[in-house]
Amino acid sequence: MYQHLLNEKLSGLKAAGQYRTFVTLNRICGRYPLARLEGNEERLVVVWCSNDYLGMSQHPAVRKAMHEAIDAYGAGSGGSRNIGGTHGLYAQLERSLAEWHAKEAALVFPTGFSSNEATLRCLLREIPDCVVISDEKNHASIIDGIRASSANRKVFRHNDLGHLEALLAEYPRETPKIVVFESVYSMDGDVAPISEIVELARRYNALTYLDEVHAVGMYGPRGAGLAAHNGVAGQVDVIQGTMAKAIGVIGGYIAGARWLVDAIRSFATGFIFTTSLPPVIVAGCLASIEHLKAQSYERERLHTQTRRLRKTLDALNIPVMPCSTTHVLPVLIGNADKCRAAAERLLHVHGIYLQPINFPSVPIGTERFRVNATPNHSDAQIDQLAEALREVFAHFEIPLKTPGTAAAMQEVS
């Protein structure tokens, strides 16, 4: 009976084109963005959709720190933070993160997903009668954290300040409220009006919770994120980030006032009852963050190559959705079957890996590739990608950009 029930669900996914398959890629240390495709070890593939935005997973300083840590401490942490899992490197990493974001304290979690889910669930459970107001395009980890509580939930239209203010105005000033949003939205590559949201929240006596996972390391002074770039990081109550993207390792964190971080440390079940990150991971994260604080080469090169990629795609009329203003370039396909088929052809004919992004990650009719350059992508690889996309668009009769399609893309974004 149980097998039948679950198989029905899986069949529904497959029929709707939502069933996920994994491509096994073996990245080559020191040669990022190159990887070998499992089963065809001789052929190299260029990866164009990794969240290892700055290539820091390959950086010699990060690898050296991790080798030294595993030799000093061994492989695992030994337990939760409360029971044997708080090794000395943790204090260094949390101080570094707090200093990066100009906050009093920080708290590290095993993943970025768990830092969102556990923190929001905790805040909404521990603050009596709290209302949460969330952007409609917030990440699944934010949605899960909100749904895990019984708090009164409101959703505002994406980046719509008027709608946000209308929802805030529904409640008395003394009603506890949290506004939750992201700085960079990873499927569209667009940016929130951070300063304006923070000002609105302060006017209506609401806490602000900002997910900066797709911005830390790449924007702002010393890579501290878009809130820091806008000069309002000090006014954001909780900054959440990840160490699995630009930092290049794994782990999540929050940074904020000491009293707030202490409350999450003391009450969040998703923090208390999970095993801590091993010393080898914490050492790699710390080395990466300190490197990114100290110099800007990787992020400057990222933005240079992103501009070149935009220009090259535009010259061939490859439709990058106009909502994108960041390093994330969503290339519109607009059909789930063609998106999957195009990804297969790119991989097996052109040696290019792009993952098809279909519903429910994006709305039906806006299926896309999520493309991002890194400091490690060469000019020749950018040219190769653009030519390969042009060939695949022609092969599957996917529409190229025209004045008409540009207007349509603006509407769906």
User: What's at 163, amino acid-wise?
Assistant: H
Spatial distance between the Cα atoms of 197 and 179, rounded to a whole number of angstroms: 8
Q: Are 248 and 32 in contact (CB under 8 A)?
A: no
Structure-block tokens of residue 331: 């290339």
Compute φ and ψ for 48, nearest 5 degrees: -120, 10
Which member of 154, 245, 338, 401 is catalytic?
245
Query: Does 338 participate in catalysis according to the annotation?
Result: no
For the beta carbon of residue 364, count every other beta carbon within 10 angstroms.
14
What is the DSSP code (8-state) at residue 46? E
For the beta carbon of residue 286, count every other beta carbon within 10 angstroms.
24
Spatial distance between the Cα atoms of 150 and 138, rounded to a whole number of angstroms: 18
Cα–Cα–Cα angle for 339, 340, 344, rounded to 5 degrees: 115
Structure-block tokens of residue 379: 């000019």
Spatial distance between the Cα atoms of 219 and 237, rounded to a whole number of angstroms: 19
Distance (Å) of CA 27 to CA 55, 182, 377, 394: 12, 29, 14, 30
* Catalytically annotated residues: 245
